[in-house]
Structure 1
Amino acid sequence: MSDIRKPADEYVVIRHRPGYRLRRTLILLVFTVVAAVAGYAAGLAQGGFRFSSAEATNEVLAQDVDALQDQFRKARQQLVNLERGRAIDEQAMREARNTIVGLETRIAELEADLTFYRNIMAPSETSKGLQVDSFMLVAARGDSTYRFKMVLTQVGNNNSFITGQVAINVIGTLGGEREVIALRDLSEDIEDLGVRFRFRYFQDVEGTLVLPGDFEPLEIQVVAQAQGSNASKAERTFDWTKLTES
């Protein structure tokens, strides 16, 4: 029984080589340094390539930016020029439109004047002598104040003056009752019950009238009476609504 060996009693024999571990450590160290140097050199070379490529790209981009900025400046200047041109065109258009409106208004006035004088100088057989040509009303300060203008004409025979008086009345309702108010009672510009006139071709009577607060105007009645050798009478009634609707 004493001759049998147990596993724990077995031994391994290793050859003893002095300096082996030290040499292996030095070799690994040298290999590591060489690998590090080689990697650094490769990285430096690669990094230098990337730097040169980025620098070239940067130059191209800078040129593109300059070109775009130049195009932007030109486009902005064109926009400013177009806006200025449009403003000038709009102003010229407004001035031309205003001029046209003014000319059309003036032409209408001249045509009305021409018709007015033509009727005076070359009337029809039924419209000779003293005439109540027109009556105009324009609202002034507030609803109850109006500017008025009446025109008397002598049609046909204009060799001599015609004289006389004209009475102007405003007809309406006051408190539900029919009321006739003389223009003298409504206007500070008229002093007499009858306004005197003397003219060869035409005469204007104008001023301002103020209506009473509860008075509802309906018509304006004009009665002109010529005296002397050209004695004649002319009457005309104007609808208040038609006079004030324009």
Structure 2
Amino acid sequence: MSEQRKPAEEYVVIRHRPGYRLRRTSILLAFTLIAAAAGYAAGLAQGGFRFTNVEASNERLEAKAATLEANYREAQQQLVNLERGKIIDEQALNQARKIIVDLETRVGGLKSDLTFYKNIMAPSETSKGLQVDSFSLSRDRQVGAYNFKLVMTQVGNNKSYISGVVAVNIIGMRVDEKEVIALRDLSQEIEDLGVKFRFRYFQDVEGKLTLPDGFEPLEVQVVAQAEGRKSSQAERTFNWDDLTEN
């Protein structure tokens, strides 16, 4: 039996290059570092661009907010000025209205006085001599109290004085009965039943009267009696409601 021959062993010849692996590893590491640096730089550049845009937008927003705030303050100040102007205008308008009312009242009073003196100096044929011109009432602060004013005139012939007495009575109802009360019994300023007068043109009789409890006034009766050479009588009745309606 023949002996089998073992296959011959093969050998690979490799060229030995000292430092090759080290150089290749170094090159790969270098490329890796360069790529990382490039990526970081690109990202930094892009991020810086975004930051710049955000900062610019923030500045624009701050400027716009400052402008809006300034406009708001200006509008608020204008509103305050308008409100103040409105108050001043209202005060001036109210004052002007008050002045107009006062002037109208004065004009009305002057016209009344003018008519009064005209009637005295240039009367009609039917109104000469002693006249009961007017009787007026105004409410007092005290309940049931009134301020009164009686005006008598001498119309036409005013060259000499006229004298006499005038009586004032308040006519009304109390406990369903008619009652006549003399002014003397209602006023502390009047002491006699007849108030004496003496004048050439006109004379006022003024005072305060207080109504008794339960008395309902209806009329005021005035009777004036002139004495002496100009003896005459003047009588006039005034409705109480007409005297106190204001």
Matched, 1:159 2:159: yes
Q: Which residue in 1 is equivalent to 2:108?
A: 108
Report the secondary structure of 2:191's partner residue. coil
Structure 2 CA distance for aligned equivalents of residues 36 and 221 of structure 1: 125
Displacement of 1:37 in angstroms is 5.4
TM-score, reference length from structure 1: 0.83
Q: Which residue is 1:127 aligned to?
A: 127
Q: Deviations over 1:1-34 (max 9, x none)?
A: xxxxxxxxxxxxxxxxxxxxxxxxx9xx969877
Deviations 1:80-128 (A, max 9, x none): 3322322222222111111111111100000000000000100000000
Give the C-alpha shift of residue 75 in structure 1: 2.2
Letter in 2 for 1:243: L
1:54 and 2:54 correspond: yes
Paired with 1:142 and 1:241, the residues of 2 have a C-alpha distance of 19
Structure 2 partner of 1:188 = 188
Could you tell me how far apart the structure 2 residues matched to 1:36 and 1:195 are?
A: 128
Q: Distance in 2 between matches of 1:84 and 1:177?
A: 63
CA distance in 2: counterparts of 1:185 and 1:214, whole angstroms = 15
Aligned to 1:19: none
Name the SS for the 1:164 alignment partner: strand
| 3-state SS in 1 of match to 2:173 | strand
Quote the offset at 1:176 in angstroms: 1.3
Choose 230-239 or 77-86, whichever is displaced more.
77-86
Give 2:189's aligned amino acid: D
Deviations 1:188-215 (A, max 9, x none): 0101111000111110111111111011
SS for the counterpart of 2:221 is strand
The 3-state SS of whatever aligns with 2:189 is coil
Q: Provide the rounded CA distance (Å) in 2 between the counterparts of 1:219 and 1:143.
A: 19
SS in 2 for 1:124: coil
**Is the deviation greater in 46-55 or in 125-134?**
46-55
Shift of 1:63: 1.9
CA distance in 2, matches of 1:237, 1:68: 78
Q: Output the amino acid matched with 1:179.
A: E
Deviation of 1:79 after TM superposition, in Å, equals: 2.4
- Whole-Å separation in 1 of the counterparts to 2:172 and 2:74: 73
Bigger CA drift: 214-223 or 69-78? 69-78
1:170 and 2:186 are equivalent in the alignment: no
- Give secondary structure in 1 for the equivalent of 2:153: strand
Structure 1, unpaired ranges of 5+: 1-25
Distance across 1 between alignment mates of 2:91 and 2:144: 39
